[in-house]
Structure 1
Amino acid sequence: MFTSVFLVSTSGRGLERLPKPNNVFVNSTNMRHILRWSPVRFPLGGITYSVQFQGEFERHHKKTWVVISECSRITETWCDVTADISSDVDYDLKVRSQFENITSKWANLSKLFNRKESNLRTPRLTVNVRGGLLTLDVSEISKNINARIYYWEKGAEQQILNISMDHNPFNVNLRSGITYCFQAQLYISEYNKFSYRSDPICETVNKDATSNEIVVIVTTVLLLGVSIVVVSLFLTWKLCCRVQSAWFPKVSAPYFPNFDTLQVDTIKEEDRRKEFCDTVQVLPQSEPLLSQCQPLTGEERSNCKTDTESWTINSVMSGNVSQLQCPMAIQYWKEYQSQQNSEFSKLTNNGTDTTQIFEEFNIR
């Protein structure tokens, strides 16, 4: 109810009832730019803030303001505008408060801001001594900020030396057995801007630790390198063997006996006498083919009793001898015998001597 009454009372009197932020300024340190303002006192609370900026181009040409999305309707009373202020020109920034749909007037900077005005904070220096090697660590080094190191032998402040460094940490090799003092300073070379020097830190460089540590480090590195090389060569060899066996398999040459040195086993005379042989009868080519021979029936066997009418063919089958009768041979022999008988009868009829005829037949 109080909120409704307040909104009704302020709607007729404009936006003056919601105060705008005060004390708007930019706090820039080590090239980080933070816009700050005082909080707005409002009885209902729930105040949010929005920020906009205007560079030289927007101010003189476009006549517009750029909304910073990261800083819209925020409850904090500060905004990081480092990413938006990206060049060495003058920038204007403004902020306003808001409650629900009611907004205040914009509150601008009292003067334009240029990032060249950024302040450099005194750095924090850390010195670590390991033998003859000193490691220097300087805080707040960034892309645009470098550091300068001042060092001297203790008791000889007039001989101050300096080195520049743009990364952390920074290693320095100095003489062993001597105490050195160190100071650090930040600077921006583009703006010729320097910070105050840090408090001096004095450290003594040890004598013997350096050589021992170097020997240990070098030995460890060498052993590690040799191990890596050996393992790599072994794995490469195994891989080559697998590839060779897969793509180029070994093929052995065929075996050819050496006939010059070949020994022939001969059968001795006494072993030859112990051999058992089967008798095989070989027929001349003029005889009938054995493949046409078939076994005789019982009737044919009874009709062919004589030696001249039967042919015995010895066939060796698995070491046993079996006798087969050949009908074609019998028919051939009968024809041959009838032909001889006809010739014999012709000679007899012609008055040829029978004795002479028998001698001719015997000769045949």
Structure 2
Amino acid sequence: MDYYYGLIIFICFWNPGFGNLPGPINVTMESINFRNILRWNRPTDLEGDVTYTVQYKMDVRSSKTDYKTICVTQELQCIASVISYNSYVRVNAKLQLNISDWVTIYFDPYSHTIIEAPEVKVSSRSGYLDVSINGPFVGSNDVSVKEKYGELIYRVAYWKESDPANELVVSTTQNTEILHDLDTWTMYCVKVQAYVSYNDKAGEFSPVICKKTTNDDRTPSWKIALLFLGSMVLAVVFILIVIVLIIKAYKMTRYIFFPSYSFPQHLKEYLNKPFYNTSYLSPQPTEECGESCEQLTFVSEETEEKDT
């Protein structure tokens, strides 16, 4: 009989899954932008296929609140993004028919979550720097962290690249901020973080972006004068070309339609009469009449003037 009792005691101490099972250790909640992951370590010297159960219940005064199961897994972590309010979170281990005690932690997502850096774009425009801010977001569903907190302030820090110790900070609740009163043609660096005022929670800073400012978009007076003189010269040249073309067209039209010479009056009268009139037709030559030819000379008014 003593032999059997000794065998049972030996089995109890040799098999860690028999009797009271040790629970998970180093239970912590990691939360980034309300993406919550509960992590833990395997109990020391525990072998076999251990199954872990994760549950939570909200921290409310109602006594009827029960724990809700989130995960039943053999991994050492559980995605617990369903928790969006102050809650008690617990996990236990199960090996065959043995179950460990619950290991419970308290989790406040609004205080514990890490606010990542927002997305920032910087562009230089007319002596200013335009800062565009977007996010941060909760997961991949494009829900902004601002919707979770109800408010979100962006702290925009900027400084000259040559003087990093002289850092200036402006705060805004908008997604855009214009940095002015900057030196022209100077390299400035910018970084942005999200901040929640009611619980004094600051997020991570965005990567530093450096941009060079341009001029203030004011045209110097000497450029204005140069542009004015240039436009005047072009206008004068254009007008002269138009005048020359008009003169040439006028001379060509006059030469074609109003020539400098004129026909004698008797030829004009002759040409104005119909050519088919029989009285002007020359009679047919007869055998009795011999052919006679005379030379006809046209004299213009210019020729007469030269002769005189």
Instruction: Name the TM-score, length of structure 2 as normaliser.
Output: 0.48
Bigger radius of gyration among the two = 1
TM-score using structure 1 length:
0.42
More strand by share: 2
Question: Does 1 or 2 have the higher relative contact order (CA < 8 Å, sep 6+)?
Answer: 2
Write 1 or 2 for the structure with the bigger share of helix: 1
